[in-house]
């Protein structure tokens, strides 16, 4: 999506005494997979102005200047009593520091894991001096630039009375990716402030979701990127939030959910169920001292999920041995990620590793990764113990010093995809031979497989990014105008070519060339598919593979739903044969049940 405006803050009333401040950008932020659709995003902050005032979820540092300017310009900031953080990360801490300079008497409210992160960011006070039961709220001060601000560690189901009927009730909804996650419900307005739940990365003018049908793909994409690896915890969170009589969801990103609340909630339940019902399951065990190993875990999980394999991410710091035992006893593969603390893995990872070694069969596929500051012995120790036990590995062990770079995260994502492929291969080797009945059933698939097609690569643009995928499901459909059809699976490729008028290039491959093998490889969503391929630009802006036999510049005209595929009809605008004496590469299959 191209940028149409500079960043701004959109302000709107969403309930009694309640205002949303939507910090907006039409650009892609950073490099996270969840922003890959390039539809822009909003960072939603909420201000409740009753007898006491509360600011919920200030944005990260990407919006810090325009956000604070808006607060002060509209005099929202004359009196701020509370700053509520649904979760704490470094970007939000940067904004919080600026906020506390303007509102030094505000009380910061967060969960216990969030408070630990804040104490580490603001001061070097020993954490051992802070002890309380999980069912107790606690207040204490943290020193910052010669001042002390008040921090309130909220307990689950605690209520904060702002006056005028605004009673805020807090629910603790931790997940492996956001172990400090907190949701807030306002009894006066029936608004549930959900932060990462029910979010979408899309930037548009509507504050609410009146055009919610157009948001389906954006919502599903956010779920797949953020929540697909933690569906058990998401289901537990949904069960907790069902107790509220919410009429509005106020998420951290995207439109506010009012018109499609029931439908969106049902979608979350169905997506969780679909993720859990996938045939192959991977358990990803990790801890993260400074967030670096956690970033790697997220990237690896994304690669596995994109390859169609279920992932259960477990942060061992907050998981019981019983939970870990249940998960790994049912897995088809497992991955262990660990930082190095004092030359060793954290105690939680040592416990998890002991459970794995005593529970998981040696035929299961394994993987190891981790970050470190100085030595990195933990990763080597884990790798050695798994090797000595005879586990096969799904990817080469990944070691990162300090914070992973964008290139490293791409490597982690590609490793996740490679792990999924290794898992499928291992499952085939372990599978018993087909029975006579199964073989008979497969005869139809074998017959369909005798329908052959030319090997081609479709190249198209998504925003400013070039994409390409391999296909052999191509057929000429018309003479005048010259047209063709392509059967496309209902995934990212279908999304790229979804709109009539979209240009693309069909590159027909040549027999004897190995170009198709390059496009058979599954790569990270952020990797450059054409980095090692010779290309030139077509008149329609898409890429021509110069090693192809020929190419056709095409324009999408229409679509037809066909089971698990869509049939695309496109007209041919122009074309050229690049190798007159070459022979078209053809795909011969043994079965029509798979590619």
Residue 200 within any structural domain of the chain: no
pLDDT at residue 497 in the model: 87
Beta pairing class for 281-286 and 333-337: parallel
Other Cβ atoms closer than 10 A to 425: 13
Cα angle 250, 253, 257; round to 5: 35
The CATH number for 503's domain is 2.30.110.10
Q: Is residue 475 part of a domain?
A: yes
Separation of alpha carbons 573 and 468, rounded Å: 19
**One domain for residues 480 and 387:** no
**How distant, in Å, are the alpha carbons of 76, 334, 398, 419, 423 from that of 394?**
54, 9, 12, 4, 7
356-359 own/partner pairs: CB under 8 Å, 24+ apart: 356/285, 356/328, 357/385, 357/386, 357/389, 359/325, 359/328, 359/329
- Both 416 and 450 in one domain: the answer is no
Whether residues 175 and 33 share a domain: the answer is: yes
Q: Where are the beta strands (DSSP E) in 5-61?
A: 8-15, 18-25, 41-49, 53-56
On whether the CB atoms of residues 50 and 147 are closer than 8 A, the answer is no
| CB burial of residue 409 (10 Å; 0-12, 13-18, 19+) | buried
Q: Quick check: is 226 in a domain?
A: no
d(CA 181, CA 199): 14
SS3 category, 348 = helix
The residue from 149, 174, 195 where one domain ends is: 195
Domains contained in the chain, number: 3
The model scores a pTM over 0.85 = no
Where does a domain end: 195, 227, 253?
195
The pLDDT value given to residue 377: 87
528 and 567 together in one domain: yes
Give the domain-ending residue among 195, 224, 242: 195
Q: Residue 452's CB: how many other CB atoms inside 10 A?
A: 11
What's the longest Cα–Cα distance across the chain?
82
Helix (H, G, I), strand (E, B) or coil at 313: strand
Q: How far apart are CA 155 and CA 137, in angstroms?
A: 5
Task: Give the other-Cβ count within 10 Å of 454's Cβ.
Answer: 18
Tokens of 464: 């400013």
- In sequence order, the 6+-apart residues with CB closer than 8 A to the CB of 243 are none
The pLDDT, as a whole number, for residue 249 is 97
DSSP code per residue over 459-494: EEEETTEEEEEEE--EEEEETTTTEEEEEEETTHHH
Residues ≥6 apart with Cβ < 8 Å to 582: 510, 511, 512, 549
Q: Are residues 565 and 419 in the same domain?
A: no
| Structure tokens belonging to residue 497 | 């070519």
* pLDDT on residue 496: 82
CA distance 569 to 42: 36
User: Does residue 261 sit within a domain?
Assistant: no
Question: Is residue 367 domain-resident?
Answer: yes
Residue 468 lies in a domain: yes
Sign, CA dihedral 296-290-158-168, equals: negative
Q: What is the CATH number of the domain that holds 361?
A: 3.40.50.360
pLDDT at 521 (0 to 100): 64
**Residue 289 DSSP code:** S
Residues 414 and 501 in one domain: no
Are residues 547 and 418 part of one domain? no
Domain span including residue 423 = 280-430
Residue 352 lies in a domain: yes
Segment (H or E) for 354: helix 347-359
Q: How many Å apart are CA 310 and CA 231, to the nearest integer?
A: 10
Return d(Cα 169, Cα 157) in angstroms, integer.
6
CA atoms of 585 and 595, how far apart (whole Å):
15
Q: Are residues 133 and 55 in the same domain?
A: yes
Helices and strands per DSSP (H, E), number in the chain: 15, 29
Residues 470 and 511 in one domain: yes
Q: What is the dihedral of CA 414, 419, 420, 421, to 10 degrees?
A: 90
Residue 227 placed within a domain: no
Residue 93: burial class (beta carbons within 10 Å; 0-12, 13-18, 19+): middle
Q: Does 501 share its domain with 402? A: no
| pLDDT confidence of residue 144 | 63
For residues 410 and 454, membership in a common domain is answered with: no
CATH number at residue 110: 3.60.15.10
C-alpha span between 215 and 202 (Å, rounded): 8
- Looking at residue 564, its pLDDT comes to 75
Let me know whether 165 and 26 are in one domain.
Answer: yes
Q: pLDDT per position in the chain (595 positions), as tens?
A: 344 467 899 999 999 999 999 999 988 776 566 776 778 899 999 999 999 999 999 998 889 999 988 887 765 556 789 999 999 988 888 899 888 888 888 899 999 888 888 877 776 544 334 445 555 666 666 666 666 778 899 999 999 999 999 999 999 999 888 889 999 999 999 999 999 999 999 998 999 999 998 999 899 889 988 888 788 889 999 999 999 999 999 999 999 999 999 999 999 998 888 777 667 889 999 998 778 898 899 899 988 988 888 898 999 988 889 989 988 988 899 999 999 888 889 999 999 999 999 889 888 999 999 998 877 789 999 999 999 888 999 999 999 988 888 888 888 988 998 999 888 888 766 554 444 444 454 577 778 878 888 999 999 988 788 888 889 899 999 999 999 999 987 666 777 888 889 999 999 999 877 787 778 765 555 567 788 889 999 999 999 999 999 999 999 999 888 877 889 999 999 999 999 888 898 887 766 666 6
Of 479, 468, 473, the C-alpha closest to 586 is 473
Contact of 461 with 542, CB cutoff 8 Å: yes
């Amino acid at each position: 999506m191209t940028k149409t405006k500079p960043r701004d803050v959109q302000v709107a009333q969403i309930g009694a005494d309640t205002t949303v401040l939507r910090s907006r950008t039409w650009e892609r932020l950073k490099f996270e997979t969840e922003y890959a659709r390039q539809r822009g995003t909003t960072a939603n902050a909420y201000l409740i102005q009753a007898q006491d005032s509360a600011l919920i979820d200030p944005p990260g540092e990407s919006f810090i200047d325009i956000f604070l300017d808006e607060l002060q310009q509209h005099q929202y900031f004359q009196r701020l009593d509370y700053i509520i953080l649904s979760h704490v990360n470094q970007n939000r801490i940067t904004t919080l520091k600026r906020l506390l300079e303007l509102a030094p008497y505000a009380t910061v409210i967060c969960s216990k894991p969030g408070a630990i992160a804040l104490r580490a960011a603001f001061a070097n006070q020993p954490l051992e001096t802070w002890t309380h039961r999980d069912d107790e709220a606690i207040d204490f001060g943290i020193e910052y630039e010669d001042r002390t601000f008040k921090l309130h560690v909220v307990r689950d189901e605690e209520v904060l009375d702002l006056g005028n009927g605004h009673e805020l009730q807090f629910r603790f909804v931790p997940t492996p990716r956001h172990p400090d996650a907190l949701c807030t419900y306002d009894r006066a307005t029936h608004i549930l402030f959900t932060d990462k739940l029910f979010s979408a990365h899309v930037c548009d003018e509507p504050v609410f979701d009146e055009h919610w049908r157009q948001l389906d793909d954006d919502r599903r994409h956010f779920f797949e990127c953020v929540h697909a690896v933690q569906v058990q915890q998401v289901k537990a969170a949904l069960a907790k939030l069902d107790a509220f009589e919410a009429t509005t969801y106020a998420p951290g990103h995207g439109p506010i959910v009012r018109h499609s609340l029931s439908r969106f909630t049902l979608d979350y339940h169905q997506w969780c169920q679909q993720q859990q019902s996938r045939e192959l399951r991977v358990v990803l065990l990790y801890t993260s001292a400074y967030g670096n190993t956690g970033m790697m875990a997220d990237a690896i999980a994304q690669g596995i999920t994109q390859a169609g394999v279920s992932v259960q991410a477990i942060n061992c710091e907050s998981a019981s041995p019983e939970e870990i035992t249940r998960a790994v006893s049912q897995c088809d593969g497992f991955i262990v990620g660990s930082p190095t603390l004092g030359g060793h893995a954290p105690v939680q990872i040592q416990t998890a590793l002991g459970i794995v070694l005593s529970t998981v069969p040696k035929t299961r596929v394994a993987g190891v990764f981790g970050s470190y500051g100085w030595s990195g012995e933990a990763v080597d120790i884990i790798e050695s113990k798994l090797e000595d036990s005879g586990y096969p590995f799904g990817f080469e062990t990944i070691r990162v010093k300090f914070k992973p770079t964008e290139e490293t995260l791409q490597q982690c994502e590609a490793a996740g995809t490679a792990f999924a492929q290794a898992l499928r291969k291992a499952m085939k080797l372990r599978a018993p031979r087909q029975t006579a009945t199964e073989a008979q059933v497969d005869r139809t698939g074998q017959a369909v497989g005798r329908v052959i097609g030319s090997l081609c690569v479709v190249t198209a643009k998504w925003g400013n990014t070039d994409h390409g995928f391999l296909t052999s499901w191509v057929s000429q459909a018309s003479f005048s105008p010259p047209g063709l059809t392509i059967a496309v699976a209902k995934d990212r490729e279908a999304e790229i070519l979804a709109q009539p008028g979209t240009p693309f290039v069909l590159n027909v491959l040549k027999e004897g060339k190995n170009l198709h093998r390059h496009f058979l490889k599954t790569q990270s969503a952020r990797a450059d598919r054409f980095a090692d391929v010779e290309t030139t630009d077509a008149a329609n802006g898409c890429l021509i593979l110069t090693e192809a036999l020929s190419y056709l510049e095409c324009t999408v005209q229409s679509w037809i739903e066909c089971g698990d595929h869509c049939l695309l009809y496109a007209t041919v605008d122009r074309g050229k044969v690049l190798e007159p004496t070459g022979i078209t590469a053809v795909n011969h299959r043994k079965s029509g049940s798979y590619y």
